[in-house]
Amino acid sequence: IDGRAPVKLVWAREDDMRAGWYRPMYVHAVRGAVDKDGAPVAWHHRVVGQSIMKGSPFEFFIKDGIDPTSVEGAANTPYAIPNLQVELQATALGVPIQWWRSVGHTHTAFVMETFIDELAAAAGKDPVEFRRGLLGKAPRHLGVLNLAAEKAGWGSPLPAGRARGIAVHESFDSFVSEVAEVSIEGGRPRVHRVVCAVDCGVAINPDIIRMQMEGGIAYALSALLYGEVTLKDGVVQQANFDTYKVLRIPDMPLVEVHIVPSAAAPTGVGEPGVPPLGPA
């Protein structure tokens, strides 16, 4: 009664889902060009979205109006593009937002890697070879790219109706490349196999590294196939796992994780497995 007694609050799932913090929505617009030899010569990238750090204890990281988590993975791309411009327009919305696993890399990796594929197609080049030509000064990116491609059998024949995609991305000082083997079933993507290569420095506990990569891949695939929160008249429409679907066991692909031997300082593994899955 005096204001110091503990209070136990128990929310139902419906309360939690409709009164939580959400992943911010971002929109990207990208234009690029390749020269007559198929080499990229220009990349213009505009990012629009809500700042995660604004209003948080970490707001001091925002410099000159730029929330670094909004452009991480894009503004510091390892690809050798001679003319690169990345712009950010921060929006102010009433939706409460917070960090989501791998933070800004969740959207920047998707856009960077899918657009690299578009440039490779415009250049008439294989996606892996195209990336190799742009990563001459990024040996650790190149290392995981090559390992994932090799272990996935990149370029070898696939069963009818299946295709492969690849992506490589650095987040939290770790380097991850993933190859996804995909088909379309009932008009929806079905991921059958994911081959992951990770360079996170010294592998202190290889089992934990593998588990985190596997979990990150499942987490990302769940969001890609099903994850959606929508609002109507300011109210979240999803309430429980009947309306907010998540990945089920039959959707889980076979995952292979290959760890790059390294003498570098150990780095993060809890989040870097997420960003490459979507674009792959």
DSSP string for residues in 167-219: EEEEETTEEEEEEEEEEEETTEEEEEEEEEEEE-SS-S-HHHHHHHHHHHHHH
Mean pLDDT of all residues belonging to the chain: 96
pLDDT value at residue 1: 58
Q: For 196-211, what is the mean pLDDT?
A: 98
Query: At residue 217, what are phi and psi to the nearest 5 degrees?
Result: -65, -45
Distance CA 1, CA 43 (A): 62
Cα–Cα distance, 46 to 1 (Å, whole number): 54
* Residue 61, helix vs strand vs coil: helix
Q: What number is the average pLDDT over the span 152-180?
A: 97
| Whether the predicted pLDDT of 142 surpasses 90 | yes
Maximum Cα interatomic distance, the chain, rounded to a whole number of Å: 77
Task: Identify the pLDDT of residue 33.
Answer: 97
pLDDT at residue 212, rounded to an integer: 98
What is the reported pLDDT for 5?
Answer: 87
